[in-house]
Structure 1
Amino acid sequence: MAHREELTRFLKTARARLSPTDVGLPPGERRRTRGLRREEVATLAGMSVTWYTWFEQGRDVQLSVPMIERLGRTLRLDGNEREFLFALAQHRPPPLETQIDEEIRPGTQHLMDSLSIPALVIVEDWTVIGWNALVARAFRDYGALPRSERNLFRILMLSDRYREDPDHYREMAQRLTARFKWDYSRTSKPEIFDAIIAEMLEQSEIFRECWQESEILAHFEHINSANMPSVGRILFLHTSYAVEGAPGQRLILFAPLDAISAERLAKLAADQLG
């Protein structure tokens, strides 16, 4: 009982020290008590008011790890307070916080430059941070784009280049969204996805449809093609691998699918050197 009483006291104290303006809410009318109301905390944390109220009252309800993380961010808890909340709520330490590595390592770039196939590296929200010269030849020159425009998910979903075949585009959109959902469900920092999701819901009808579907995809592997005027169409099998020691980074490799594609890719590479 004392454990639950401490959880109640802790949450009430955390609420009381925040004002509406601290979390982006209008000041509103004069309040009888300091701090945020329960319904405001619940809304900001993406929880039902009833569920949060029961949790704060110390009733026997269980919150998932993502829900506790969202609650901690809403209440602006520091590292020690976050750990304390998990101890009170789940009787165990919180999951380790991972600092997403946003910069390409020289060794990873050197590896990609040494390959005879296209290769690129994306971070957790699918922003491209590294690529080799064959990617620029076969797909697009990311070096000509500012970082804010190098999100691979946005590019593939919104570019007219991929909409020439409606059936193929729909299949691609469903697959990409299913994988994006998987990444979103596993991240400890959902806020890095929220802006992308909001933008896609506004701009893409097919994304709105796909986002409502239940399909998820845990593996980033498929066949895609690039039509190069100088050599013809090249079929690629692309796969992805986590970059060891670089949290959130994935190396995507594009291997030619058949002998004809391998021959055309070799010619494309030779033309580039020439």
Structure 2
Amino acid sequence: MSLLSSMPAATDKEERRRALSAFLRSRRERIQPDEVGFAPGGRRRTPGLRREEVAQLAGVGITWYTWLEQGRDINVSAQVLEAISRTLRLDRLERNHLYTLAGIALGPAKGDCSALPDSVQRMLDQLSPYPALVLNSRYDVLAVNEAYCRVLIDLSAIPVEERNLLWLTFASDEWQCAFTDGDSIKRHMVAGYRAASADHLGEPSWQDLTQRLLASSPLFAELWERYDVAGPSSKVKVATNERVGALRLEALNLWVSQAGGMRLTAYTPVDDETEAKLRTLVTG
């Protein structure tokens, strides 16, 4: 029996407190003292603010904040979390992530549904020649149209159990990223997965995927330790296809179900040239 298999599994509550601890520390360390009115001088053992400085700015007790960041089992209110959010300069997604880890934010219902009605596939097919797919918050591909397979990656050639965009991106030789800004996309994917995982701490399927990614990809491990969080974006992306060259696409996200964070993502052309190229790829 391996050491890992002999260790008792962490409870959901323990896992959540550890994640909260690491997230608070990472947000505290990114703020420079002079940004919030403290003198930059003096020896500091860690980057960013000290715990006592965060407590002072947020108007909470030093001991209480230290216990919170250490992941101790203490009571926390929305009012106090709001003060800490302002002090740490959290954006909306980071603030929601903090609340969720503290057990206060209302996240989506637990449990992913991998079975989609036939109407969803029919809708995807009607979007052709625009590439489109349905994902859950874990980046499992639940449905895809032919246009996506022809333009970006042929997911039909990949076994169903391996159709996870995180796994394909970081740990599989099958994935050749069609988008030119691949590094930025990878950072955003991990940040999105980090944000979604707060609602699934302790769930075996999420833990298994995370551990396999950490073991298989040093880049994923590096990005995971940044504790960044993000949500789906709709910015214009440039993809390259060996047949037609550059494609300028905008990702449009439509929620299929809040349960499991299922969303339909369609890539629409931002110019007539891209429109024509998509039609050539799909119908030509």
TM surpasses 0.5: yes
Matching of residue 107 in structure 1 with residue 107 in structure 2: no
**Cα deviations by residue, 1:109-163 (Å, 9 ceiling, x for unpaired):** 1111111311101123211121111011112222222222100111122355557
Residues 133 and 211 of structure 1: is their aligned pair in 2 closer, same or farther, counting only changes over 3 Å?
same
Alignment check: 8 A CA contact 2:238 2:247 kept? yes
Provide the secondary structure at the position in 1 that maps to 2:190.
Answer: helix
| Structure with higher RCO (Cα < 8 A, 6+ apart) | 2
Show the counterpart of 2:219: 206
Alignment check: 8 A CA contact 1:222 1:237 kept? yes
- Once residues 228 and 187 of structure 1 are traced to their aligned partners in structure 2, the CA distance between those partners, rounded to angstroms, is 36
TM-score (norm 2): 0.58
Matching of residue 252 in structure 1 with residue 257 in structure 2: no
Provide the secondary structure at the position in 2 that maps to 1:125.
Answer: coil
Alignment check: 8 A CA contact 2:149 2:155 kept? yes
Which residue among 153, 161, 166 is the counterpart of 1:148? Answer: 161
Show the counterpart of 2:57: none
Show the counterpart of 2:197: 184
**Cα deviations by residue, 1:174-220 (Å, 9 ceiling, x for unpaired):** 11111111111234764332112111211212112111213211233
Residues 213 and 260 of structure 1: is their aligned pair in 2 closer, same or farther, counting only changes over 3 Å?
same
Show the counterpart of 1:230: 243
Residues 193 and 152 of structure 1: is their aligned pair in 2 closer, same or farther, counting only changes over 3 Å?
same
Task: Point out the structure with max Rg over C-alpha.
Answer: 1
Alignment check: 8 A CA contact 2:109 2:260 kept? no
Provide the secondary structure at the position in 2 that maps to 1:234.
Answer: strand
Alignment check: 8 A CA contact 1:222 1:238 kept? yes
- Could you tell me which runs of 5 or more consecutive residues in structure 2 were left unpaired when the two chains were aligned: 19-72, 78-102
- Once residues 233 and 122 of structure 2 are traced to their aligned partners in structure 1, the CA distance between those partners, rounded to angstroms, is 23
Which residue among 146, 151, 155 is the counterpart of 1:138? Answer: 151
Aligned residues: 199
**Cα deviations by residue, 1:7-61 (Å, 9 ceiling, x for unpaired):** xxxxxxxxxxxxxxxxx758xxxxxxxxxxxxx686784368xxxxxxxxxxx93
**Identity value in percent:** 21
- Could you tell me which runs of 5 or more consecutive residues in structure 1 were left unpaired when the two chains were aligned: 1-23, 27-39, 49-59, 65-89
Alignment check: 8 A CA contact 1:121 1:250 kept? yes
- Once residues 201 and 261 of structure 2 are traced to their aligned partners in structure 1, the CA distance between those partners, rounded to angstroms, is 11
Show the counterpart of 2:182: 169
Provide the secondary structure at the position in 1 that maps to 2:142.
Answer: strand
Give the residue type in structure 1 aligned to 2:125: D
Alignment check: 8 A CA contact 1:162 1:169 kept? no
Provide the secondary structure at the position in 2 that maps to 1:227.
Answer: strand
